[in-house]
Amino acid sequence: MKITDIKTTLLSFPIPKEKRWRTDLGVATKADNCLIHVETDTGISGLGVGYGNPEVVKSIVETQLKPSLLGEDPLYVEGLWEKMYSGSRGIPSLNKGVSQPIFSRRGDTLCAIAGVDIALWDILGKSLEKPIYHILGASRNKVRAYASGGWAPGGEAGKEMASYVAKGFAAVKMRAEGIDGFSFSKLQTRVESARNEIGPDVELMIDAHGSFDVSTAKRVARILENFNVAWFEEPVSYDDHIGQSEVRAATTVPISSGESESTRFEVLDLLKNRAIDIIQPDVAMSGGITESRRIAAIAAVHGVRYAPHVWGSGVTFAASTHLAMHAPNCFIFEVSQSNSPLNWELFKEPFEIKDGYVYAVDRPGLGFTLREGLEEKYPFQQGPSYIY
């Protein structure tokens, strides 16, 4: 089998002005996807998605990755990952058994590699007529899910979280900074409201998107300890692994992060610094299915559990499902409460989410078929997806 072409599709979902709101990430104006399509001489094609800046990812795929992959056998997924990561030194790196990565080896480059890698796994699964998680090695066929949202201000936070529980979720996540902004007392009010409304037995998690300094994060963690919080996510900047380990050492609340990390090498630094209890790589950002699998495995060696970051694209959801069914140390799966159609309307087939669980899909490859007419329905719009 040979790769004959690699194409990209850019999509945007603009958020209507009246539905935009401010959080610590800024005001979200739109959601974007850079879909990646790998075509072969057998008629089998694969689908992936790269997070990051969609126009930059598209350019990296088309100008850097595609020329090196045309004519290659797509079934050699590990070797092709190494070729993408090491560029012109891909062949010597495999011959010597030592990675010799290209200079721009993080960020949007890894998002582009991730998208191609997901598409290669889709082709591998389709050609073997097996779902990806069975090729990886299956651990389970369903995984507990959590509802991820929680932006409501003040005492409304409780009602918002209870609405997720009413959908069948027994675990829910809210943002540390709601649309009413952050102060210690606002946080206390929102978390107390959530705990009161959902009761003592539903798991409650808090996400700070790396927006606090170490001392603020320690004070936040002290508040969270009063409400039986299951994890405190990205308490400090993802550049500050040592600071995060200080926060972790100062609290009994489990610390999670990883959605902003590229590659197992960055995750290894988190692990060596004893900075996490739960690792959360994003398959479309950390380097694809190949790299997420490695990350889950090295995390397990350190006694760290795996909870994939799942956001922004139905392709991310589909790929992450296979990783969750595979990795023994996966214990929970993120289900976005954002209503972006790029999460929920890309495919002809529905996702199986019921009674608080996400179920495996037993169709070959990723197991999903894109709907027709996506580019007409969700035409790409230039510009930032968040503004201050």
Decide: 94 and 79 in contact? Cβ < 8 Å.
yes
Q: Rounded to the nearest whole angstrom, what is the least distance from the CB of residue 213 to Mg ion in the complex?
A: 18
In the complex, minimum distance from the CB of residue 206 to Mg ion, in angstroms, rounded to a whole number: 10
The smaller minimum CB distance to Mg ion, of residues 1 and 27, is found at: 27
Site for Mg ion (CB under 5 A): how many residues? 1
Question: Furthest-apart CA pair in the chain: how many Å?
Answer: 61
Q: Give the shortest CB-309-to-Mg ion separation in angstroms.
A: 6
As measured in angstroms, the least distance from the Cβ of 17 to Mg ion is: 25
Single out the segment in contact with Mg ion by CB under 5 A; choices: 18-26, 59-67, 207-215, 282-290: 207-215
Cβ proximity to Mg ion: between 82 and 207 the closer is 207
Using CB under 5 A as the binding rule, whether residue 207 contacts Mg ion is answered as: yes
CA–CA distance, 169 with 172 (Å, rounded to integer) = 7
Cα 263 from Cα 246, distance rounded (Å):
23
Q: How far is the CB of 258 from Mg ion (least distance, A)?
A: 9
Nearer to Mg ion, 177 or 207 (CB): 207
Q: Sort 64 into a burial class: Cβ within 10 Å, 0-12 / 13-18 / 19+.
A: middle
Interface with Mg ion in residues 251-270 (CB under 5 A): none
Which residue type sits at 18?
E
Which residue lies nearer to Mg ion by CB, 210 or 364? 210
Nearer Cβ to Mg ion (146/357): 146
- 177 in contact with Mg ion (CB under 5 A): no
Output 37 or 209, the one with its CB closest to Mg ion: 209
282 binds Mg ion (CB under 5 A): no
Q: How far is the CB of 24 from Mg ion (least distance, A)?
A: 11
Among the residue ranges 5-13, 117-125, 185-193, 203-211, the one whose residues contact Mg ion (CB under 5 A)? 203-211
Smallest gap from Cβ 9 to Mg ion, in A, equals: 26
- Which residues are near Mg ion by CB under 5 A? 207
